[in-house]
Amino acid sequence: MAVLELANISKHFGAIQAVNDVSFSLEAGQVVGLMGDNGAGKSTLVKMIAGNFRPSHGTMRLDGAELIMHRPVEARQHGIEIVHQDLALCNNLTAAANVFLGRELRRGFGPLRVLDYKTMYRRAGEIFRELKSETRPRDLVRQMSGGQRQAVAIARTMLSEAKIVLMDEPTAAISVRQVAEVLNLIRQLRDRGIAVVLISHRMPDVFTVADRVIVMRRGRKVADKPIALSSPEEVTGLITGAIEQV
Amino acid sequence: MAITLDQTISQKQQSWAAKVLGSQTFWVLIAVILACIFLAFVTDSFATTKNLYNITRNVTFVAIIALGMTLVIITGGIDLSVGSVLCLCSMVLAVVMHAGYSIEVGIAAAIGTALVIGAFNGILIAYLDFPPFVVTLGMLSIARSLAMVASNNTVVFQFGPDHDKLLALGGGAWFFGIANPVLYMIVLALFTGFVLRWTRFGRYVFAIGGNEHAATLTGVPVRKIKVAVYMISALSAGIAGIIQTGWLGAVTTNIGAGMELQVIAAAVIGGANLAGGVGTAFGAIIGAALIEVIRNSLGLLGINAFWQGTFIGSAIVLAVLFDRIRNFRLSE
């Protein structure tokens, strides 16, 4: 069954039609590569799923129930997690502090509640272990490599039982070795039964890790097919418009 | 033997000792201690009960405000209005008590004034995106002017029926001969330190200073925290004003003039980073202590008071230099 279903979603800003009549569905445990040139409508589409914008037309359904969000925080409550392109990390805090940022664990009662460092370090450590990432919960993020920083950002999505993880250009600015690390992290998420949307410009990454590819051009969905039935050449053609639609 | 993933993850990055040795606050503390030992040997008057009593008490006013300032600086902001807010709160207290009200009413009025000013600063900065420098610079001017209006620019030295209570509050020594202001400072420092380390509020203060955008995206109530931080800063100035009024026994409209710079200097010497994200309560106290020891020692050593600024200025640059050297090493 589909986790998330988008039906005839459109979004316009004034006269600009950013997303035009897009429908697709996400399955649990599936990685979907979302591709398209700058301005194709990828970001707008993702921001609607993330609760930043409300669609002008169309409906979204989460587990069959209609999904209406007013603020980004609500997405998280629905089990939709976002890994932002800039990762949204605080360099001056530890890895564990960043993982739990905005949802710190506390102990004690009533007004006398203090941060539960011990449990947060332990939980963060467990998540890094699950992700098979060499990231130490007590290290400051300032001193971390690009791959570790990704692991911290991804670890956030595993705090709660996320159903959908949206990743915005996770491999844009990191080294080759770290890209491999991040792709592994994505597989870890998939193996946990999470639906992953990978927004990327990098063709090799999408073809390595994704099960399905969706291509957007000028606000419209021009392709949605299993990765095995497509090729980088075809996707490039779809992105640039050399191939109209498949 | 290969190192397993588990070992790596549970490993601590640096020992407790390495952390202490790497902190600016620690080295400033060493400097304060060395200066005190040096002065105790070189001068007859430094290590006397009376001088130490004076030093500890003089530290407190700058130190208490530096606690509030440290919170503001950690969020990446600045509060230039604290000196004027101290003056206004002192004057509100003085005028209210002079008019015949009790000390409780006077203190409530002074605290209320501080909170209103802090909220005003904070709302302009957090909700209307004013630069903190501009808003608090404006408030620096406004608050002192209001103090002049409230008192008609006179000196107030009679505080009505509770006159003696107020003087005892600021000038007394209720606990083992330690000056009252010092006790207040210690309590407030412990409280601030606790809040920064152990509460979610403290964690958010650091997060905002580290990456405000990230804090917003992860659901931290950035604006509310910012307003609270400026209110705390003004409140610390108000508290210092109340204590100072009790100690001096008189209020003029020029008390606290230029104090904001001393307070910022204390916070920065103590390790707070003006770029945001770094700072401690203990550091604020140590920074204030170093400034006061420098001031005191110049007098005792018979060095012309005109040199004071040079020494304090050098202390600021030196303290931050340590931090820079450490960062250069880290980045290499």
pLDDT greater than 70 at residue B297: yes
Give contacts of A148 with chain B, Cβ < 8 Å: none
DSSP letter, residue A214: E
Looking at the complex, does the CB of residue A134 fall below 8 Å from at least one CB of chain B? yes
To test the contact with chain A by mutation, choose from B4, B9, B222 the residue with the greatest count of A C-beta atoms within 10 A, namely: B9
Structure tokens of B95? 């005028």
A51-61 CB burial, b ≥16 within 10 A, e <16: bbbebeebebe
Asked if the interface predicted TM-score (ipTM) of this complex is over 0.90, the answer is no
Residue B6: its chain A contacts at CB < 8 A? 129
B281: number of Cβ within 10 Å: 24
Interface size A-B, in CB pairs within 8 Å, comes to 85
Quickly name the fold that domain B47-331 has: ABC transporter involved in vitamin B12 uptake, BtuC (1.10.3470)
Given an 8 Å threshold on Cβ–Cβ distance, is A101 in contact with B220? yes
A80: Cβ contacts below 8 Å, ≥ 6 apart: A4, A49, A50, A51, A62, A162, A163, A164, A165, A166
Q: Which two tokens stand for residue A195?
A: 């639906």
**pLDDT at residue B330, rounded to an integer:** 61
Q: How far is B312 from chain A (nearest CA, A)?
A: 28
Q: Which of A38-42, B107-111, B171-175, B196-200 has the lowest mean pLDDT?
A: B171-175
- pLDDT, position B11: 67
Determine the residue among B13, B74, B191, B218 to mutate to test chain A binding: the one whose Cβ has the most chain A Cβ atoms within 10 Å. B218
* Residue in A101, A135, A159 to test binding to B, most B beta-carbons within 10 Å: A101
Distance (Å) from the alpha carbon of B73 to chain A's nearest alpha carbon: 14
Contact A138 B9 (CB under 8 A): no
Q: Mean pLDDT score of chain B, rounded to an integer?
A: 89
Q: Does B209 touch chain A (CB under 8 A)?
A: yes
Contact assignment for B218 to A106 by CB distance below 8 Å: no
State residue B226's pLDDT score: 97
Contacts of A154 in chain B (CB under 8 A): none
Contacting residues of B for A113, CB less than 8 Å apart: 199-200
- A positions 54-93 inside 8 Å of B (CB): 72-73, 76, 82, 84, 86-93
* Listed residue (B115, B111, B118, B114) closest to B77, CA to CA: B118
What's the pTM value of the predicted model, to 2 decimals? 0.88
* Residue from A201, A241, A200 nearest A223 by CA: A241
Q: Is B145 in CB contact (< 8 Å) with chain A?
A: no
Distance from CA of B193 to the nearest CA of A (A): 13
Name chain A contacts of B197, Cβ cutoff 8 Å: 115
Q: How far is A133 from chain B (nearest CA, A)?
A: 8
Q: Which residues on A lie below 8 Å from B219 (Cβ)?
A: 72-73, 76, 102-103
Q: In this predicted structure, what is the pLDDT of residue B12? A: 63
Q: Which residue has the tokens 């600009």?
A: A16
Owner of token pair 């587990």 = A63
B281 compared with B173, residue with greater pLDDT: B281
Mean pLDDT (10-residue bins), chain A, 246 residues: 89 90 91 90 88 90 89 86 88 94 87 89 91 88 87 88 89 79 88 92 90 92 91 91 83
Min Cα distance A200 → chain B (Å) is: 21
Across the interface, whether the CB atoms of A90 and B13 are under 8 A apart is answered no
Q: What is residue B1's predicted lDDT score, i.e. its pLDDT? A: 41
CA-based nearest distance B212→chain A, Å: 8
8 Å CB contact of A125 and B219: no
- For A139, the 3-state DSSP assignment is coil
CB distance B203–A90 less than 8 Å? no
Contact A101 B215 (CB under 8 A): yes
Return the pLDDT at B331: 60
| Chain B residue numbers touching A135 (CB-CB < 8 A) | 9
Q: Is residue B149 scored above 90 in pLDDT?
A: yes
Question: What integer is the mean pLDDT of B200-219?
Answer: 93
User: Which residues, listed in sequence order, are joined to residue A225 by a DSSP beta bridge?
Assistant: A213
Q: Tens of pLDDT along B125-137?
A: 999 999 999 999 9
What residue segments make up the domains of chain B, in order of their start?
A: 47-331
Chain B residues close to A156, C-beta within 8 Å = 218
What is the CA angle A154-A160-A164, rounded to 5? 65
Question: Mean pLDDT, to the nearest integer, of B110-126?
Answer: 97
Query: What is the rounded CA–CA span in Å between residue B193 and residue B283?
Result: 10
pLDDT at B24 over 50: yes
Question: CA of A229 to nearest chain B CA: how many angstroms apart?
Answer: 37
The conformation of residue A192, written as its DSSP 8-state character, comes to T
Contact B213, B108 (CB under 8 A): no
**Sheet holding A16-27: strands in order across?**
A16-27, A2-13, A57-62, A65-66
Q: Do B209 and A72 touch (CB under 8 A)?
A: no
Chain B positions in Cβ-Cβ contact with residue A111 (cut-off 8 Å):
none
Which one has a higher pLDDT value, A43 or B96?
Answer: B96
Pairing between β-strand A57-62 and β-strand A65-66 as defined by DSSP bridges? antiparallel
Structural domains of chain A ordered from first start: 2-240 (3.40.50.300)
Residues of chain A neighbouring B210 (CB-CB closer than 8 A) = 90-93
> Are A72 and B206 a contacting pair at CB < 8 A?
no
**A104/B203 touch (CB, cutoff 8 Å), yes or no:** yes
Tell me if chain A has a CB within 8 Å of the CB of B200.
Answer: yes
Tell me the two tokens of residue B131: 């630069």
Partners of residue B221 in chain A, C-beta under 8 Å? none
CA distance B194 to A184: 40
A116-130, B72-86, B313-327: range with highest mean pLDDT: B72-86
